Amino acid sequence: MFILGSLPGDASLAARQYYAHPTNQFWRLLGNVIGEELHALPYDARLDRLAECRIGLWDVIASASRRGSLDQAIREAAHNRIEHLLRDFPDLRAIAFNGTTSAVAGRKLIGEAPGGVRLIDLPSSSAANTTRFEDKVQRWAILRKFLQP
């Protein structure tokens, strides 16, 4: 399974870590999915746990100009070749999009997913998305059925 974001924010770029902003709920949400407190682990240990669960992280947008970290400010986006995930990972069962920007661009790039691959739109883990955390947890729980032992 891959979870695709839109484009890293300023805090993530500065830290060179996915979802580094302290208010981003990504590590808590995904920790709930796999049953571990990922947010409490050092970053490298988080990545190790994702690799053990066969969860990959990437972004739909490879580069763009943007003032600040909000997706609405993204301009001149160049996209990653995410459609190649379907070819390069033949056992892939799901691609989840973290937020609307990622989902809209990602679905356009992928087009019709082949049978056996599910495209999943998730509410953004960003604190800018004011959906209640408990509601996000419920929506993200769908990822459990795609976990690999």
pLDDT: which is higher, 134 or 63: 134
**Burial status of residue 88 (CB atoms within 10 A of its CB: 0-12, 13-18, 19 or more):** exposed
Q: What is the pLDDT of residues 28-74, one digit of tens each?
A: 999 999 999 999 999 999 999 999 999 999 999 887 777 866 666 66
CA-to-CA distance for 60 and 8, rounded, in angstroms? 10
129 is annotated as an active-site residue: no
Averaged pLDDT for residues 99-128? 92
The pTM (predicted TM-score) of the whole model is 0.90
- State the average pLDDT for the chain: 91
Is pLDDT above 80 for 149?
no
120 sits in which H/E element: strand 118-122
In Å, what is the CA distance from 63 to each residue of 3, 74, 101, 136? 18, 9, 14, 27
First to last CA, the chain: 12
How many Cα atoms are found within 13 Å in the side-chain-facing hemisphere of 12?
A: 19
Asked if 108 contacts 121 with a C-beta cutoff of 8 angstroms, the reply is: no
User: Is the pLDDT score of 130 beyond 80?
Assistant: yes
Query: Which among 24, 32, 80, 98 is annotated as catalytic?
Result: 24
What is the rounded distance in angstroms from the CA atom of residue 12 to the CA atom of residue 23? 12
